[in-house]
Structure 1
């Protein structure tokens, strides 16, 4: 007897023997048991997942001599003939070879005749998508209303090519791909029944190579049995498929993790001796990294399909998660660019060397960049009196945020640094490293006035060297003009210039500012200050180098109650915003302030109401005075809407009389503006009163830009 391949020998002959596709089997079994049979079924899916097999089993269920059921006997003549492929009433048509409309018409001419032996005449049309358009049109009418003794079973791997008219006439079942786990389970059963020795690793290689097709897995198993002389061994299967040994992949990965460049190139040289597909090597490496990433998140989800579960878990414990993601992304990009390399091996080597060169640094803690002393000076060149202060800058630590405002501070002039005790606290966090400050020693430098110690716990006045991890609430980058410093001239006491306002910010020419426009919005009440004139010593001066500017951003300040702005040396306070001149509302005007937010108004109607004040309320007749500046928005429609909203709020009809007269007390809009101005004043006062800010202004000659302070809305 001739040898029968495993794919045909182990083809399922009943629904119980089917592997997978439970969603399809459930529907068919219930339909057969309940006698709810459709006249046309369409089975779709990739090759080797059971489309034709299910169609043949369904034909057996329909024609079994024991009756229509989901469990054919398998012993009667009909069942045996169907299994052997010679049942006269099961007409199997290969649509790929019979695409012409004449072939379809010849097929349909016999539909009207009753079956010869069976209960139903079953037409099994395989690869039905290969039929021509005319063939589909010829099939439509018969497929929609066939004789009661005819069943159509269609199978295709490409349902997108079927006309929608065909799809609408069939019950469609989509068969799923076979996962490697299910393939390995079935191969284990088959090889055990065939009494063929095998290794689990070999079955996993076959399961992955089958790519979702059970028939392909069975065919590859036949090939592996022949290759291994009656055995299915992992080494033989790997050699047969041309796949890479996972041990070599782990060798490459281990040298990469250890940072051994020479070992990495040696591992690649050993790989090259086997003449591998370098794109496939990268794919295997990405597969290992993918499993490592899964092991870091859900360790129990890692399978032992290749006998390397312990090695994967070991790598997951040894590799940081960011390294795994970095290597995976670099491998993906390298695999995409591999065809562009001069040759595949050099492209693979460059990908590995790139992973090695740009891997994330392994440090115990985030390094801090010390404050540099210019491009030519080092810490050792700084005078002894200034060294403690310089060293203290690089030894700072972060401190909790202090107050509800954000301030921007810039150094206007360099000063000699007096001895300062290093502290472990810092006053603020910056989003950028501080620029280097060049210090020129001078013999006749006058020390700045001593800063009084605050009553609270003292804080250091040093700027932190690096705290890029803290977010800031600064609203804009500083824009300032700096004073020159010459090495041959003594450095005098700091003479800070006036802070920039929105008016003169655009006039300043800054070396680092490409946009002359101010990067902030003027606050209410700000007054434009005139640009400094040449008489004030500003016109003929050269701009500072970038190294003479230092920035610090203060965030999350709490307002200091009853605190007044402190005008200390090195700081020129911006005039406070002008408050509304009208007196606070009392009487009916105060009641209107409480009623207005509850009316639920919006748009122009809300603007009209916000600029009114209540002057009389006699029963259902109310009189409002509207600010003449808002009279352009006022009309009868706005008065009607406001009257309706007020009536709905009070629960009674109100007749409004809105007169365009300047209010004598605060309107809701003016009260809101006054509250905003008071919050702004409190925030400015909090910044100026903070002892750390005062020490920075004293030690570094810094100024506070009041226009950069924004109160935090609670």
Structure 2
């Protein structure tokens, strides 16, 4: 007797007796997380990987299809999805299309089975759970058999770096000379663990992290499709926490959507609480308080942030981010841009103008050491607070530029002048009221230099040469200082874009020293006594290098000399003669001896 209807009836009655609605239960069973629901179904759906898609499109269009691909990148960037899309492209077939192609619209005969991992000719293997050589040999035994349904038999090996050394060795011969009906697609997050012998047999694609603006735009599109109301500031926090991973961003968005009641907006504060992040604006307040030496305000601020659920390590990490962004802004000047809200970016630019590169470098070193200490400390909050207090104490020390000036003054026997008071807007003066240097008391106390919240110019009273007005003058000044290595590098590698006293922009040639801008900035500051911003802009188009200009001038002088009547006469008399050097004309009376000599009677000899 079939009692299935009765069983179903009993189940429904039990559900009703428990006060549960079957509809939400069914919806919960049918719900698909956003990371799976919005997985790219074609190459056009992939975001941030334009270079890879363009290369594949050109290769497939030209029929230059590799037999093995290596996909590498951080977690959640789309390696497995790309591997399946490649399997679809290789086996794409419709009533009109009978060859591999990248455009997968409309879906082909094998597309659905491949994307759901059900196709018999697309074999997916997780190397993390199949590391042994016997398993690899068993897999390769099937290589010699032709595909059952599709055009190619495709082997997708995820986390390939987990294979053992013997497994890689077993794979090598087949990977080098596979049958024409077999293709390999490997994916890994640890490309350095893959043997070079394997890498050399594959066409490699590095999937890039997706930048925050692109990720925020993608999340906004998903919110629109899901009828979810998440504020842009909240989406920006999610994109930043995802660190370029699309899957992580969608997983966090899935969690953020339910942080507010239906119909209400999920704001940045709710997302911040969900992520356990400190308010970035308050972290900047903390940074400023420590930078101006206000230990009491800095200590109070970090404790308040901790009480609201902020992680001490995250606070220090955010401060490191700020230190990096401010250093870039100090180096690039007006060309610097920030991945932040406009008001937040304005605060960063204002602060960057008040801190020198030397001060920012010192802040970075203190924070970096403090972050490592907080990571291993039994009480992370205490370690983070000690780091903040060290920053506040360091603000009361002379800046690196001021220390160098004092040392130079002591070496020359002169006393260093007191540091100039800070200048700036009213808001900056209010936040940095304690940044002025201490006063010299009648008891002979030395002045205490506070953090100089402005760019400094070194002026130790010594006779310094005037600032150069052209790149050629700067190179001549560096040559006079006998730094011939730097002089040669600038002449050979710097294509000038703009030059003004205090700021130089140039385009480095290919192969130029990576630290050329920093060396040039330090040397010019040392020689002129003022700060120099030197920017190496690889994307701009600079003029000829000084070396190219010199060679062109020398060639013109050489051609003019050879064309002179005297040279033509000499060449006519001595056909094998060659021009060795061109020297300026000198006085025949003084040239042999260097100068006129006088006899003891005062008469010329």
Scaled by the length of structure 1, the TM-score of the pair is 0.49
2:49–2:208 contact (8 Å) kept in structure 1? yes
Aligned pair partner of 2:322 in 268, 288, 302: 288
Give the deviation of 1:60 after TM superposition.
1.0
- Corresponding residue for residue 39 of structure 1: 67
Structure 1 range deviating more: 247-256 or 55-64: 247-256
Partner of 1:104, secondary structure, is helix
Between the aligned partners of 1:171 and 1:120, the Cα distance in structure 2 is 18
2:133–2:166 contact (8 Å) kept in structure 1? yes
Q: Once the two structures are superposed, what CA deviation does each residue of 1:428-472 show, in whole Å capped at 9, x if it has no partner? A: 99812379xxxxxxxxxxxxxxxxxxxxxxxxxxxxxxx844169
Does residue 1:23 correspond to 2:4, yes or no? Answer: no
Q: Once the two structures are superposed, what CA deviation does each residue of 1:148-195 show, in whole Å capped at 9, x if it has no partner? A: 221111212223222333223222222222222332222222222222
1:668-707 correspondence to structure 2 within 5 Å: none
Q: Once the two structures are superposed, what CA deviation does each residue of 1:253-283 show, in whole Å capped at 9, x if it has no partner? A: 3444565444334323423423543332222
1:129–1:156 contact (8 Å) kept in structure 2? yes
- Corresponding residue for residue 227 of structure 1: 259
Partner of 1:148, secondary structure, is coil
- Corresponding residue for residue 571 of structure 2: none
Aligned pair partner of 1:243 in 277, 299, 315: 277
- Corresponding residue for residue 55 of structure 1: 83
- CA 202–38 in structure 1, closer or farther in 2 if over 3 Å, else same: same
Between the aligned partners of 1:152 and 1:319, the Cα distance in structure 2 is 53
- CA 108–184 in structure 1, closer or farther in 2 if over 3 Å, else same: same
Aligned pair partner of 2:395 in 350, 359, 367: 359
- CA 347–86 in structure 1, closer or farther in 2 if over 3 Å, else same: closer
- Corresponding residue for residue 622 of structure 1: none
Partner of 1:110, secondary structure, is helix
2:273–2:309 contact (8 Å) kept in structure 1? no
Between the aligned partners of 1:358 and 1:139, the Cα distance in structure 2 is 57
Between the aligned partners of 1:176 and 1:44, the Cα distance in structure 2 is 9
Larger relative contact order, structure 1 or 2 (CA cutoff 8 Å, min sep 6): 1
1:293–1:316 contact (8 Å) kept in structure 2? yes
Between the aligned partners of 1:269 and 1:142, the Cα distance in structure 2 is 61
2:130–2:163 contact (8 Å) kept in structure 1? yes
Between the aligned partners of 2:415 and 2:302, the Cα distance in structure 1 is 44
Partner of 1:77, secondary structure, is coil
1:33–1:69 contact (8 Å) kept in structure 2? yes
Between the aligned partners of 1:345 and 1:99, the Cα distance in structure 2 is 42
Between the aligned partners of 1:136 and 1:258, the Cα distance in structure 2 is 57
Aligned pair partner of 2:337 in 302, 307, 332: 302
1:317-396 correspondence to structure 2 within 5 Å: 317=353, 323-338=359-374, 343-359=379-395
Q: CA-atom RMSD, angstroms?
A: 3.9
- Corresponding residue for residue 447 of structure 2: none
- CA 331–214 in structure 1, closer or farther in 2 if over 3 Å, else same: same
Aligned pair partner of 1:144 in 168, 172, 176: 176
1:28-107 correspondence to structure 2 within 5 Å: 28-65=56-93, 66-67=97-98, 68-107=100-139
- CA 196–301 in structure 1, closer or farther in 2 if over 3 Å, else same: farther
Give the deviation of 1:91 after TM superposition.
1.2
Ranges in structure 1 where 5+ consecutive residues have no aligned partner? 370-427, 436-466, 474-647, 652-667, 676-714
Give the deviation of 1:244 after TM superposition.
0.8
Partner of 1:119, secondary structure, is coil
Structure (1 or 2) with the larger CA radius of gyration: 1
Aligned pair partner of 2:349 in 313, 320, 336: 313
Between the aligned partners of 2:66 and 2:376, the Cα distance in structure 1 is 55
Scaled by the length of structure 2, the TM-score of the pair is 0.57
Partner of 1:64, secondary structure, is coil
Ranges in structure 2 where 5+ consecutive residues have no aligned partner? 1-26, 417-458, 466-576, 581-590, 598-605
Give the deviation of 1:92 after TM superposition.
1.0
1:576-587 correspondence to structure 2 within 5 Å: none
Between the aligned partners of 1:128 and 1:327, the Cα distance in structure 2 is 41
Between the aligned partners of 2:63 and 2:136, the Cα distance in structure 1 is 29
Q: Once the two structures are superposed, what CA deviation does each residue of 1:93-142 show, in whole Å capped at 9, x if it has no partner? A: 11222222222222222222222211111111111222223322322222
- Corresponding residue for residue 431 of structure 1: 412
Partner of 2:110, secondary structure, is helix
Q: Once the two structures are superposed, what CA deviation does each residue of 1:269-323 show, in whole Å capped at 9, x if it has no partner? A: 4234235433322222232333334444334533353562232234335556655
Partner of 1:153, secondary structure, is strand
1:73–1:79 contact (8 Å) kept in structure 2? no
Between the aligned partners of 1:106 and 1:255, the Cα distance in structure 2 is 64
Between the aligned partners of 1:309 and 1:344, the Cα distance in structure 2 is 29
- Corresponding residue for residue 304 of structure 2: 270
